[in-house]
Amino acid sequence: MGRLSEVSLGLKDQNKKAFVAYVVAGDPHPDMTVQLMHRLVKSGVNIIELGVPFTDPEAEGPVIQAAHERALAHQVNLEAVLTMVARFRSEDAKTPVVLMGYLNPIERMGYKSFSQRAGDAGVDGLITVNLPPEEAGDLTEHLQTHGIDPIYLLAPTTNVERAQRICQASKGFVYYVSLKGTTGSGSLDVNAVQQKVNSLRDYAPLPLYVGFGIRDGETAGPIAAIADGVVVGSAIVALLADAEEQGSETVIQDVVNLTAEIRAALDASVS
Amino acid sequence: MTRTQLGINESLTSFPDSAGHFGAFGGRFVSETLMGALDELTEAYDSLKADPAFLAELASDFEHYVGRSSPLYFAERLTERAGGAKIWLKREDLNHTGAHKINNCIGQALLARHMGKPRIIAETGAGQHGVASATVAARFGLKCTVYMGSEDIQRQSLNVYRMKLLGAEVVPVTSGSKTLKDALNEAMRDWVTNVDDTHYIIGTVAGPHPYPMIVRDFQSIIGREARQQFAERQGGLPDAVVACVGGGSNAMGIFYPFLEDSSVRLIGVEAGGDGVDSGRHAAPLNDGVVGVLHGNRTYLMQDPSGLIAETHSVSAGLDYPGVGPEHAWLKDIERAEYVAVSDDEALQAFRELNLLEGILPALESSHALAYATRLASEMASTQHIVVNLSGRGDKDIPTMAKIDGISIG
Ligand SMILES: Cc1ncc(COP(=O)(O)O)c(C=O)c1O
DSSP string covering B349-375: HHHHHHHHHS--B-HHHHHHHHHHHHH
> What is the pLDDT, as a whole number, of residue A115?
98
Confidence bin at B158 (pLDDT 50/70/90): confident
Q: Which residues pair with B199 in a beta bridge?
A: B120
d(CA B85, CA A63): 56
Question: How far, in Å, are B4, B13, B105, B232 from residue B9 at the CA level?
Answer: 8, 11, 33, 31
What is the total residue count of chain A? 271
Min Cα distance A14 → chain B (Å) is 31
Query: For chain A, which ranges sit under pLDDT 50?
Result: none
Closest CB to B192 among A102, A109, A181 = A181
> What is the pLDDT, as a whole number, of residue A205?
84
B317 lines ligand 1 (CB under 6 A): yes
> With an 8 Å Cβ cutoff, are B35 and A158 in contact?
yes
b/e A144-161 (16+ beta carbons within 10 angstroms → b): eeebbbbbbbbbbbbeee
Min Cα distance A194 → chain B (Å) is 18
Q: Residue A178's domain spans which residues?
A: 3-268
Q: Which B-chain residues 346-375 have CB contacts (< 8 A) with chain A?
A: none
What is the atom index within ligand 1 of the atom nearest the CA of B125?
Answer: 14
d(CA A260, CA B104): 53
> What is the pLDDT, as a whole number, of residue A188?
78
Cis status, amide bond into A205, omega within 30 of 0 = no
Its sign, for the CA torsion B40, A176, A143, A25, is positive
User: Smallest Cα–Cα separation from A101: which of A57, A144, A166, A164?
Assistant: A57
Confidence bin at B2 (pLDDT 50/70/90): low
> With an 8 Å Cβ cutoff, are B291 and A180 in contact?
no
Task: Write out pLDDT tens, residues A61-98.
Answer: 999 999 999 999 999 999 999 999 999 999 999 999 99
Confidence bin at B157 (pLDDT 50/70/90): confident
Q: Please state the pTM of the whole predicted model.
A: 0.96
Pocket test for ligand 1, best of B102, B202, B250, B311 (most atoms within 8 A of CB): B250
> With an 8 Å Cβ cutoff, are B33 and A131 in contact?
no
What's the CATH number where A126 sits? 3.20.20.70
Task: Write out pLDDT tens, residues A169-187.
Answer: 899 999 999 887 787 776 7
> With an 8 Å Cβ cutoff, are A131 and B182 in contact?
no
What is the atom index within ligand 1 of the atom nearest the CA of B205?
Answer: 10
Min Cα distance A267 → chain B (Å) is 30
Domain count, chain A: 1
> What is the pLDDT, as a whole number, of residue A183?
77
Cis status, amide bond into B52, omega within 30 of 0 = no
Task: Write out pLDDT tens, residues B200-238.
Answer: 999 999 999 999 999 999 999 999 999 999 999 999 999
Q: Decide: A100 and A232 in contact? Cβ < 8 Å.
A: no
**Looking at beta carbons, which residues of chain B come within 8 Å of A107?**
291-292, 306
> What is the pLDDT, as a whole number, of residue B353?
98
Cis status, amide bond into B47, omega within 30 of 0 = no
> What is the pLDDT, as a whole number, of residue B409?
66
> Average pLDDT of chain B?
96
Closest CB to A157 among B37, B302, B305 = B37
